[in-house]
Structure 1
Amino acid sequence: MKVAIVHEWLDSFAGSERVVEQLLAEWPEADLFVLCDFMPEAERGFLRGKAPRVSFIQRLPFARKHFRKYLGLMPLAIEQFDLAGYDLVLSSSHAVAKGVITGPGQRHVSYVHSPMRYAWDLQHQYLREAGMERGLKGAYTRWLLHRLRIWDRASAMNPDIIVANSTYIAERIRKAWRRESVVVHPPVDVDRFALRTEKEDFYLTASRMVPYKRIELIAEAFRRMPGRRLVIVGDGANEARVREAAGGAPNIAFRGRVGTEELVRLTQAARAAVFAAEEDFGIATVEAQACGTPVIAFGKGGARDIVVAPPAANPTGLFFGAQTADAVIGAVESFEALRFAPEDCRANAERFSHAAFRARMRAIVAEAMA
């Protein structure tokens, strides 16, 4: 069986690349196709020595730093890959990869991280945050996103089977594309985050400081709870706003960006990890659970697939219902009155292991080929 794996682009090893890594581990004979490949040499190990086949976008001016600006050309580029000789096509898609063209006798299974958020329900937020609500550039962007929506829904008919990375994304696929999907959660390296049962007296939030993560809400909440310590890990464009919300409170410590070993140590030691974002899935949430650390999370998005909340048996965390500091405070107070077993958190995380992901994808591919 000849297998092709199609991915949008390679420039850093992040969440979608973890999926490609496991697909390559399961189908090591596969050929890899990407729109462009600018992955640093130090991060290429997951490619297993493969030289990806690239599209014409690789050779366009300034593509190395600005390939995302060629978004309008990406549907055309993805359709130029000739996959006629392959029995099975696996696409890893958060933009256009699911749009590759296959023919009769071929099977296409698309693992969808999300429909294009900026083209669908988050268009207005994207334009607002990019400062393109008005003007000629804003008008052009609106027209481009309109054209992308038309192509995106049409190309969503291409895959034989669509796999969503969470129940939340399955709902977005149903809304945007009017297609049903199978949920397979992304692979998480739970072995890297070992169980620790003894916890210290602090809460942790670790994330890039970008607006949708809403870390300022967590900082404000703990500023108003001076008796409880918070450690904030990460940096980013929203850091000034987060520090303003913290107001210099002595119970809040900013650690900046830390190395992997220190991040693991802090996650293992934390009384609980706190997340306020509406995530597609939430790998950091699973990593916290793998350490035996309960999670307090905003109760929308992918977190609902991960955290087991009371009154369910063997709970591993709590949800709060609104993205406000008051809601975070209420959740922390509720957390303090309950008991969560680190062993239950770890057992919950095992559902998202590399082995679990590969077993589910093998079964789906076997069904597709049959």
Structure 2
Amino acid sequence: MPAPPDSLQAARVHFVHEWLTDWGGSEDVTRAMLRAVPGQALHATIDFLSPQNRAKFGEVPVRTTFLQKAPGIRKHFSHYLPLTPLAVETHDLRDAQVIVSSSHAVAKGVLTSAEQLHVSYVHSPMRYAWDLHHEYLDDYGLSRGVKGLLARYLFHRLRNWDRQTANNVDLFLANSRHVQRRIWRTYRRLARVLYPPVQVGRFRFEPRKGDHYVTVSRLVSYKRIDLLLEAFRAMPQRKLVVIGDGPEAPRLRAMCPPNVEMLGFQSDEAVQQHLGGARAFLFAAHEDFGISPVEAQACGTPVIAYGVGGSRETVRDLRSEARPTGLLFDAQTPASLQAAVEAFDAANIDPHDCRRWAEGFDEPVFQASFRAILEQAWAAWCRDPCSVEAGAGVPAGLEAPPRPLQA
């Protein structure tokens, strides 16, 4: 077999994504990676993106699997999830020299050969099989009975497959230190941290703040919007604006106190206005990273967030940082959030510090870091494939949080 090219630019790079149904955070990461390192193909189990969204990937061809033509797949994709590990193994990557998978479920499970470098950017080990396993069973009514036993068996098989396919990856990239720890716990593999890109330039800086608080979120149970509503029920003098839609909307509207306004889905311009003018952005979820708090800080808006998971890395806490950008609360309870809001109101956070901190997560920072990591991983692979994980030679600083705030 011919020797691999010395330069990454001369190598054949293929990207693997889970599935392309709606545009979200993981799709935006793949788009940014493709802009940083152009690829010969993008592989996905299915592709039902609109032409406008697919165009965001540029001219790269999208290759799908047998699931693309499965009966009822567009409306009932969740019914086919047990088949996605099989589907991802059918991707034909024989032409690739470098494989980059963007994985939060099965994408890292592609079949590779000993002549191929596989770098997997992990948004999260599949949460419904590991961390949120019991919550997922409860939410879908699968914790009891025959269906529950079948679901538990399928998840057992899926966990075995997930852990086994970690052996197909030469270098793991984690989207936060929180996920880095979860990768170690799940796969017993080292991972390098590369925070996902935030399009900071899309958000206007607004130094003047109003008197309302705001949150922007999909209305699903784990986002804990109910916690925000209960906390503000106990603070009738304060106003909260909730932007977003989702399956929890009817329940949340039924419990909404008078001082909380639920606006549903809003345009980008409306979101910008509410984010920029808010006294603070509220975030009660336990997220692996969480892009929305960084977007709020890009507007110069401080963040009050649950201090577990990615929030500890994206928010500079008032209680411990010299140039804070928000405040972290300790427990997912209305009382803890209420105490945090009251402590925040007594503080003074500079909107300019929020903006400068957010700029450390900007997309050009991500692209330059991703390109450098991939180039050095390829150089290490060409020298000795066994050295990629231990000695990729990532420059100092790429694994660290964004650059410190400058005076």
Q: TM-score, normalised by structure 2?
A: 0.88
1:113 is aligned to 123
Give the aligned CA root-mean-square deviation in angstroms: 1.3
1:253 aligns with 2:261: yes
**For the residues of structure 1 that align with 2:144 and 2:302, how far apart are their CA atoms?**
44
Tell me, yes or no, if the aligned pair for 2:15 and 2:39 is still in contact at 8 Å.
no
Q: CA deviation at 1:338?
A: 0.8
Q: CA deviation at 1:134?
A: 1.5
SS in 2 for 1:65: coil
1:175 aligns with 2:175: no
Moved more, 268-277 or 25-34: 25-34
Tell me, yes or no, if the aligned pair for 1:78 and 1:99 is still in contact at 8 Å.
yes
Match of 2:315 among 307, 318, 330: 307
Code of the aligned partner of 1:314: R
Per-residue CA deviations over 1:40-79 (Å, capped at 9, x if unaligned) read 2232221213331111111222112222322222222212
Q: CA deviation at 1:184?
A: 0.7
Match of 1:199 among 203, 209, 215: 209
1:92 aligns with 2:102: yes
**For the residues of structure 2 that align with 1:179 and 1:23, how far apart are their CA atoms?**
22
1:266 aligns with 2:274: yes
**For the residues of structure 1 that align with 2:265 and 2:72, how far apart are their CA atoms?**
29
Match of 1:101 among 111, 114, 121: 111
1:338 is aligned to 347
1:318 aligns with 2:324: no
Q: CA deviation at 1:178?
A: 1.1
**For the residues of structure 1 that align with 2:51 and 2:220, how far apart are their CA atoms?**
27
1:350 is aligned to 359
**For the residues of structure 2 that align with 1:102 and 1:29, how far apart are their CA atoms?**
17
Q: CA deviation at 1:240?
A: 3.2
Q: CA deviation at 1:316?
A: 0.1
Q: 1:29 to 1:240 in 2, by over 3 A?
A: closer
**For the residues of structure 2 that align with 1:240 and 1:325, how far apart are their CA atoms?**
20
Per-residue CA deviations over 1:53-107 (Å, capped at 9, x if unaligned) read 1111112221122223222222222122222221111000011111112222321
Q: TM-score, normalised by structure 1?
A: 0.97
**For the residues of structure 2 that align with 1:174 and 1:42, how far apart are their CA atoms?**
38
Match of 1:296 among 291, 300, 304: 304
Per-residue CA deviations over 1:280-307 (Å, capped at 9, x if unaligned) read 1111111001000000000011111100
**For the residues of structure 2 that align with 1:2 and 1:135, how far apart are their CA atoms?**
49
Gaps of 5+ in 1: none
1:216 is aligned to 226
SS in 2 for 1:292: coil
Q: CA deviation at 1:345?
A: 0.3
**For the residues of structure 2 that align with 1:173 and 1:113, how far apart are their CA atoms?**
10
Gaps of 5+ in 2: 1-10, 380-407
Q: CA deviation at 1:239?
A: 2.2
1:282 aligns with 2:290: yes
Tell me, yes or no, if the aligned pair for 2:220 and 2:248 is still in contact at 8 Å.
yes
1:48 aligns with 2:31: no
- Percent identity between the aligned chains? 49
Tell me, yes or no, if the aligned pair for 2:300 and 2:351 is still in contact at 8 Å.
yes
**For the residues of structure 1 that align with 2:269 and 2:243, how far apart are their CA atoms?**
13
SS in 1 for 2:172: strand
Tell me, yes or no, if the aligned pair for 1:57 and 1:67 is still in contact at 8 Å.
no
